[in-house]
């Protein structure tokens, strides 16, 4: 009898999957404590190994946001890190135009997902969705119109479940999570046949993490409090090193899995710049042909902003439009980005040097939350003071692997 077969016999409650991370990794199953009920129910489809990795991490994120801010929350997950996360703050008319939902009814939960998905829509293509509240028809209609790999939520309205279950020719994974479920104190992971154990990271992320402000400027509006908590919870579930930028109750740029922290700041910062440039009038007024689909429009706007194309690529790109395009010049980009301000940034560990603060200042950052404890802490704080920023030291490291 194989080792996999022996393990299966030891667990009475399990869900079989086709394979693990890759097709050659067979057999695969998701296990829970022996002879106890699983804390979720698969209502439709057959989620895979990576789906479960995304779903269970994403669920923790939205559950924490719901508890910490008392607002509906959503996360868009890809490969065990969020592409976006947000709470259900009402979208402005400009937001609706940028996110292509001008004529759609949006509940608070739907607003949260539109924000989460809209932060980095190219990364969110094929995401796994987590929602903190019962899924209404409005939110299901938004999900029905995007390319995603599944959804996890505490419950679903009947019509919402019917609509979601029809995706992917009836194979769309829909998971119902028990909202009262709480994991045990310890968690375990096998690497190369060795089992590692650690206390689960149950550090609470709420307003208390902002109590130790070390900069001269100590004024934090309530909107920034929300942004700092949203980004901090998001980086808690992002592969380290990680840094997140936030504004208007949503993550607007995440840098994940970088060995250098300043590289995280730069990577996430580039996403922030693209997010903000999508609001430029030239981008919003691109003359798309009627047959161009929503995701194609999203991709085209990003490519237009980036502007790095060969002549052949540009010729093919121009076929999407009814008229020649006016270039978005570097000067226009610089002038537009100068209007970005009031942004929050959160880091899953301390900033070791002031270079991260200098980089953050170029992306409109005003509010910072980080662990603290760098040997050069005084230099980091002094840099924040130079820019008139507010910096809170949470005292909590949030590495996630």
Helix, strand, or coil (residue 151): strand
Task: Tell me which of 57, 63, 78, 280 is the catalytic residue.
Answer: 78
289 flagged as catalytic: no
List per-residue pLDDT tens for the chain, 401 residues long. 666 665 556 555 677 888 888 888 887 877 766 657 789 999 999 999 999 999 999 999 999 999 999 999 999 999 999 999 999 999 999 999 999 998 888 999 999 999 999 999 999 999 999 999 999 999 999 999 999 999 999 999 999 999 999 999 999 999 999 999 998 888 888 889 898 899 989 888 999 999 999 999 999 999 999 999 999 999 999 999 999 999 999 999 999 999 999 999 999 999 999 999 999 999 999 999 999 998 899 889 999 999 888 889 888 899 999 998 888 999 999 999 999 999 999 999 999 999 999 999 999 999 999 999 999 999 999 999 999 999 999 999 999 98
Task: Tell me which of 44, 51, 57, 241 is the catalytic residue.
Answer: 241
218 flagged as catalytic: no
Q: Which two tokens stand for residue 296?
A: 């194609």
**Enclosing H/E stretch for 283:** helix 281-284
Separation CA 390–CA 236 (nearest Å): 21
Task: Tell me which of 24, 35, 70, 401 is the catalytic residue.
Answer: 401
Tell me the C-alpha to C-alpha distance, in Å, between residue 394 and each of 64, 87, 397: 17, 21, 8
241 flagged as catalytic: yes
Separation CA 310–CA 342 (nearest Å): 36
């Amino acid at each position: 009898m194989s080792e996999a077969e022996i393990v299966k016999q030891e667990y009475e409650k399990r869900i079989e999957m086709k394979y693990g991370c890759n097709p050659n990794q067979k057999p695969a199953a998701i296990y829970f404590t022996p002879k106890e009920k699983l804390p979720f129910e698969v209502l439709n489809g057959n989620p895979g190994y990576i789906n479960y990795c995304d779903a269970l991490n994403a669920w923790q994120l939205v559950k924490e946001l719901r508890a910490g801010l008392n607002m509906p929350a959503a996360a868009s997950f890809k490969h065990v890190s969020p592409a976006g996360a947000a709470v259900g703050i009402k979208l402005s008319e400009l937001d609706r135009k940028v996110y292509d939902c001008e004529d759609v009814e949006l509940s608070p939960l739907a607003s949260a997902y539109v924000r989460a998905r809209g932060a980095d829509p190219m990364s969110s293509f094929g995401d796994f969705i987590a929602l903190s509240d019962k899924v209404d028809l409005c939110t299901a209609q938004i999900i029905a119109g995007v390319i995603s790999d599944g959804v996890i939520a505490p419950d679903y309205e009947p019509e919402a479940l019917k609509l979601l279950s029809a995706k992917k020719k009836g194979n769309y994974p829909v998971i119902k999570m028990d909202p009262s479920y709480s994991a045990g104190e310890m968690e375990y992971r096998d690497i190369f046949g060795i089992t590692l154990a650690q206390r689960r990271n149950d550090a609470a992320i709420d307003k208390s993490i902002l109590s130790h402000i070390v900069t001269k400027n100590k004024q934090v509006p309530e909107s920034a409090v929300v942004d700092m908590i949203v980004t901090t919870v998001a980086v808690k579930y992002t592969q380290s090193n990680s840094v997140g930028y936030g504004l208007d109750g949503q993550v607007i740029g995440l840098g994940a899995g970088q060995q250098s922290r300043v590289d995280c700041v730069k990577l996430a910062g580039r996403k922030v710049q693209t997010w903000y440039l999508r609001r430029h009038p030239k981008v919003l007024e691109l003359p798309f042909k009627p047959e161009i689909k929503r995701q194609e429009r999203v991709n085209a706007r990003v490519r237009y902003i980036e502007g790095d194309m060969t002549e052949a690529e540009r010729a093919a790109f121009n076929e999407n439009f009814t008229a020649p395009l006016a270039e978005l010049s570097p000067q226009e980009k610089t002038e537009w980005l100068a209007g970005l301000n009031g942004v929050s940034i959160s880091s899953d560990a301390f900033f070791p040097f002031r270079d991260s603060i200098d980089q953050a200042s170029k992306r409109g950052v005003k509010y910072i939350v980080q662990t603290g404890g760098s040997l050069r802490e005084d230099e980091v704080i002094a840099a924040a003071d130079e820019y008139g920023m507010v910096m809170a030291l949470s005292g909590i490291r949030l590495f996630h692997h």
